[in-house]
Structure formats: structure tokens, C-alpha cells
Structure 1
Amino acid sequence: MTARSARLWHGLTAVVAIAALVLQLVLVLQGGRVLDETEQPGLAVRLGRLVSYFTIQSNVLVAVVTVQLARDPLRDGSLWRVLRLAAVVGITVTGVVHFVLLRPLLDLDGADWLADKLLHMVVPVLAVVGWAVFGPRPRIGWREIGWALCWPLAWTVWTLVVGALTGWYPYPFLDPREEHGPAGVAVAVAGITVFFLLLFALARYVDRQARPTPRR
């Protein structure tokens, strides 16, 4: 794949991710729903909850790295490799968990429906296809995996602590009241952690086995 093709794809992904994030932010500012929330807390609380969603954080990471890749599709660097890997695996988990666990719980329409589909389906597909086809690779080693894993682990611990203190959880599978107590939450967290590890291992395998790309 050529660098020009890579720039175009990464640029498209960045535009869609940024547009989806802006749309969701506008909806929250206007009092729109986020996932399955039904209450209307104050603006500061709504904004705090918005940035607490793994969905939002993974889409932000995708936007950041694809903007950089649109400028330089051969971008490299120690920190950048970690961010790129975290973005790809994080947005994959976002898409899969939404499709399997959250989609059946939602009943959205209009702009809320559009934001939901962009953040949970369109951006994940664009990001994963972009990484698989355009890379850049090779970029993934065990060191990058170790550092990239720190983000979802830290997010999980922070979310559970805040939830225990405030009673609010961004996703129902992390809420002991929804998952038949702490044991149910532990099972859900363990399952998602294993899924993360499998995705990291798969990403490393593809990164090492596939042809280096893009070409200059």
C-alpha cells in the first residue's frame, strides 16, 4: 500500500472520529442521552460522565493517532507506538462489547442514534481496517503491549472505585446491582481482560507476519 492511500484512509478515519465526538459532545451539552442513561444530571456531571466512557476515550485515541498518520503514515516513536496499539485494540473492544453486550439495551433515535453508531460501529471498522491494511508496521513488541495494557487496567480500577463511591457506572456489566453482586462484575472484568490480551497477542502476530507497510 502506498503512503498516499494510507493518508487518505487515516484522514477519513480522523474526520469521522472527530465528527462523532463533537456530535456526542453537543448532544450531552443539550441534555441528550449517553448509552442507557435516563436521568438528567447537571452539566458538569454530564461532561464528567461523558469522558469516563471507554467508548469516548478509545475514539479520542483513534482521532489523535489517525490525525498524525494522515500527516505522516510512517510515523514512529516509542510513545507513539503505545498510543497507536492502545487505540487499535481499545476501539476494537469498544465495537465488540457494544455489539454483544450493550446494543440490545439501547433504544435511541435521531442524532443520539447517529452518534451511537458512529462511535461504536463506524469508527471501529474504519480504524481496524486502516490498521490492518495500511499499518504502519512493524510497530508492536511485548514492551508496547505491556504499556498499552496499562490504560484499560487503570480505567477499570478507576471506574470501579468511582462507582463504589458515587453509585454511577458507565456500563451495566460493571455495576454490581446489575451483575448479581461483585462476583458477577469480577467475571465480566476477567472476561474482558482475557479478550484484551488475546487482541494484543493477535495484533503482535499480524504486525510481525504481515508485509511492512506503507511503502514510501
Structure 2
Amino acid sequence: MTPARAFHLITAVVTLAALLLQLVLSVSGAAVLLTEEMPSLGTRLWRLVSYFTIQSNILVAVSTVMLARDPQRDGQVFRIVRLAGLVGITVTGLVHFFLLRPLLDLTGWSAVVDTLLHVVVPVLCVTGWLVAGPRSRIDATAIAGATLWPVLWLAATLAVGGATDWFPYPFVNFREEGWPAVVVTCLGILVLFAALFVAVWFADRRLGRTREREPHS
């Protein structure tokens, strides 16, 4: 097994284990950020998949499973999934560190899964991309496709929140925070996404050229 394949496999296993553990906690009723009355199982499950954290981890799991099978995997759908997962999980880690971590007081398995989903998986995914690539998988179509996901997530989150009065994160709760604060926060996150897309595209080109200049044994 090559080092690249092993790294992608480790990332995939850790991500899938974290998602499975979070699913178990949600089914059992020990779901993170649910502090009021216990909702039904169906409600807990759809709320679980509504979290950007869960969606970004799912994208990482899908792309790293693909790469564990073929470290040089390519294709337009793969490029979109890989880029969306990479940038999405980076935003997940940053938003958790700066906006959500001060609000949480977790213990036991909830603390374990929170660390896995928000810290360990982001570090593994970003490190794996920097070290193992694959390179030259970012183009305009991949960026457009990867951008569509967070925009649709935000629109759906606000629409569903307005209809059900439930929001996955405090900073999108316009009923509590007010529209001006929510708009400013969301615009800031979208700017962060744009900056990361540019940074990843630039880094991919530079790393690709560096690898091409390396002497081959």
C-alpha cells in the first residue's frame, strides 16, 4: 500500500467512525446542541443531516474512500466532491473554533465526537490534500459545483428555520440574532469560502509545478 493510499484510508476510517458515533448519539438522544425537549427520532435524524458539519464530513468520507481505492482518482464529479469536502471541512473547523467552541460544554462521547468531526477530520483532510494530493484536480467547473453546495445549504437552512423555528447553529438564527447580524455573519462565511477556493486553487497549481520539477528516480 502506498503512503498516499494509506493516508486517505486512515482519513476515511476516522471520518466514517466519527459519523457513525454521532449517528448513535443522535439515535440515543444524546445529540449535540439539542437542549430543549427531546424530538422524535425522525426529527433528530433530519436535524442531524442538516448540520453543515455532518455534510462536510460526509463529503470528506466519500472523497477519501474514492482516493483510498485509487489515489490518482479523477473525473468531474470527483473533483467537485473532493473540493467541496476539502473547503467545507476547513470552514467547519474554523467556524467551530471561532464561533461555536465557546458556546459548548461537552463531556463524554459527545466531546469525543465533537473533537473528531471538528478538529481531527479537518486536520487529516487538509494534511492529506497537501501531502498526497492528487494535484491538478481544481478547475472552474469544480469551483462552481463546489460553491453551489454551501449556497444551497444556507438558503435551505434559513428557509427551514423560518418555517420550523429550528436552526442548526446560533449564528443563522435570525429570530434570536436579528437579520442584520445573521446577514453580516453569513456574508463573512461566504467571503471565507471564496478566499479558501482561491487559496486552494493557487496552492494546487504551485504544488503541482513543484512536483513536476522534482527529479524522478
Mapped partners of 1:60, 1:110: distance in 2: 23
Instruction: Please point out which of 156, 160, 172 is paired with 1:162.
Output: 160
Mapped partners of 2:188, 2:194: distance in 1: 10
Mapped partners of 1:57, 1:192: distance in 2: 16
Mapped partners of 2:176, 2:35: distance in 1: 16
Instruction: Please point out which of 176, 185, 189 is paired with 1:188.
Output: 185
TM-score (structure 2 length as normaliser): 0.94
- The CA deviation string for residues 162-181 of structure 1, in whole angstroms up to 9 with x for no partner, is 000000000000001332x1
Instruction: Please point out which of 198, 203, 207 is paired with 1:206.
Output: 203
Alignment partner of 1:28 is 2:26: yes
Aligned partner of 1:96: which letter?
Answer: L
Aligned residue pairs, count: 211
Q: Point out where structure 1 has 5 or more consecutive residues left out of the alignment.
A: none
Mapped partners of 2:61, 2:170: distance in 1: 26
- The CA deviation string for residues 168-202 of structure 1, in whole angstroms up to 9 with x for no partner, is 000000001332x1111110110000000000000
Mapped partners of 2:27, 2:84: distance in 1: 28
Instruction: Please point out which of 124, 127, 130 is paired with 2:128.
Output: 130
Hey, which bits of structure 1, 4+ residues long, moved more than 4 A? 212-215
Aligned partner of 1:197: which letter?
Answer: A
Mapped partners of 1:110, 1:11: distance in 2: 26
For the aligned residue pairs, the C-alpha RMSD in angstroms reads: 1.5
Instruction: Please point out which of 83, 86, 90 is paired with 1:85.
Output: 83
Alignment partner of 1:7 is 2:5: yes
Shift of 1:25: 0.3
- Between structures 1 and 2, the one with greater helix share: 2
**2:51, 2:168 within 8 Å by CA — same for their partners in 1?**
yes
> Secondary structure of 2:2's partner?
helix
Alignment partner of 1:141 is 2:170: no
Q: Point out where structure 2 has 5 or more consecutive residues left out of the alignment.
A: none
- The CA deviation string for residues 146-166 of structure 1, in whole angstroms up to 9 with x for no partner, is 111000000000000000000
Q: Give 1:78-117 correspondences, 5 Å limit.
A: 78-117=76-115
Alignment partner of 1:38 is 2:38: no
Shift of 1:144: 1.2
Aligned partner of 1:153: which letter?
Answer: V
> Secondary structure of 1:177's partner?
helix
Mapped partners of 1:74, 1:66: distance in 2: 11
Alignment partner of 1:55 is 2:53: yes
